[in-house]
A = this chain, B = another copy of it.
């Protein structure tokens, strides 16, 4: 309930790890997975999504790995979640894109009021950057 997914947590752990070290240093997914005792395959997929989104830079081949593409204070938790989940974090499905398919949509009386909560959640996630996770 309201919990971040494991994928997001793993992504944050990896990103934090990179942010703690000198800029530009590359880390292999395997290396991170072992260090933090998380599934290598799962972490790899997360890092691949972060790569596509330009959050990290990947270098393939031997001695390859990932390195942070942005400054920690430019990386908002909200966008990290969006990238990994492939959708914005919402408090109710009707606040997601194309989210009018809630079966109750028309009869719902709390949609509008919940908008304030959604807005505050947005602020919270936008104002929390990777820098603050360090």
Within 8 A of B (CB), among A106-134: 107-110, 113-114, 116-117, 120-121, 124, 128, 132-134
**A85–B1 contact, CB under 8 A?**
yes
Residue numbers of A with Cβ under 8 A of B are 1-5, 9, 12-13, 16-17, 35-38, 77, 81, 85, 87, 89-93, 103-104, 107-110, 113-114, 116-117, 120-121, 124, 128, 132-134
16 pairs from A and B in contact (CB 8 Å cutoff): A1-B5, A1-B81, A1-B85, A1-B90, A2-B4, A16-B109, A35-B107, A36-B104, A36-B107, A37-B103, A38-B104, A110-B133, A114-B133, A116-B128, A117-B128, A121-B124
